[in-house]
Chain A
Amino acid sequence: ETGVTQTPRHLVMGMTNKKSLKCEQHLGHNAMYWYKQSAKKPLELMFVYNFKEQTENNSVPSRFSPECPNSSHLFLHLHTLQPEDSALYLCASSHPSEGGTGTEAFFGQGTRLTVV
C-alpha cells in the first residue's frame, strides 16, 4: 500500500465511449503525474501537475484530458480512444521539486485499460 489509490483497476471500453480514471492520494504531496506503460516500453510520462497547475503535457493526444481539482485528486478523462491506447495507466505523486532531496514518486496500482 503506497498511499496512492487508483480506480478502477480494470477498464474495458469501446472506441466511442467516454470514461474517467481516478487517482487519490493523502500523502500531503503537491505534485501528481499520469504515466502510461505499454508492453515492452518504458513508462511514459503523460502529464504533470504541480500545485494543481498542469506543468507538463508530453505531446499527449487530446483524446486524453487530465483534471486536477485539488492536490489530492487527479483524473484522466478518456474519449474516442483507439485500440493502441490499451495499456496500464499509472498515477504517481511526490513532493514538488526540492533541491537536494531524492524524493521518490509513489505510484498507484494502475488501471489496466483495454480499448475494443
Chain B
Amino acid sequence: DQQVKQNSPSLSVQEGRISILNCDYTNSMFDYFLWYKKYPAEGPTFLISISSIKDKNEDGRFTVFLNKSAKHLSLHIVPSQPGDSAVYFCAARIIQGAQKLVFGQGTRLTINP
C-alpha cells in the first residue's frame, strides 16, 4: 500500500514557464512534507518542506502548496530553468520513534530550452 504517490512519472516544461509537480498521500499522521531533487548518480538533496499546519511555503523560485482536505501537495517552480531538470521526489514525515520519511515514486522533470 503506497502512502505517498506521484502519479506523473515525467513532465516536460519550456524554460521560463511554470513547472507544477503533484503528490498525493493517504496517511493523516504525516506531519511534514518535503520535496527532494535528485540528479543521476547522486543522492537526493532537500529542496523545500511544509508543515501540515500550513498551506503554503515559498523559497525563491520554489513554492509548495498543501491541501490537507484533499491530501494533496504540489511544488511550483517559476521560472523553470534548465538546471531544474532532475527527478523530484515527494516525501512525507511520520514520527514513530525516529522520524521516518515515506517517498513517492518520483517525477522526472525536463526543462526544454
Contacts and interface: CB of A to CB of B under 8 A. Distances in A.
B100 A109 contact: no
Interface residues of A, number: 34
Q: Which 8 A-B pairs have the closest CB atoms?
A: A107-B43, A50-B98, A43-B103, A104-B46, A55-B97, A102-B49, A102-B32, A31-B98
Contact of B98 (A43, A55, A100): A55
Interface stretch (A13-21, A59-67, A70-78, A89-97): A89-97
Instruction: Bin chain B's interface residue count.
Output: 20 to 34
Interface in B1-40: 2, 4, 9, 31-32, 34, 36
25 contacts: A2-B43, A6-B43, A31-B99, A40-B105, A42-B2, A42-B4, A42-B102, A42-B103, A45-B100, A48-B98, A50-B97, A56-B100, A94-B99, A96-B98, A97-B95, A98-B99, A102-B34, A102-B51, A105-B46, A107-B36, A109-B41, A109-B42, A110-B41, A110-B42, A110-B43
Given A107-B43, A110-B43, 16 more contacts: A2-B45, A6-B43, A42-B105, A42-B106, A45-B101, A50-B98, A55-B97, A55-B98, A90-B44, A96-B99, A97-B99, A99-B95, A102-B50, A102-B93, A103-B99, A110-B42
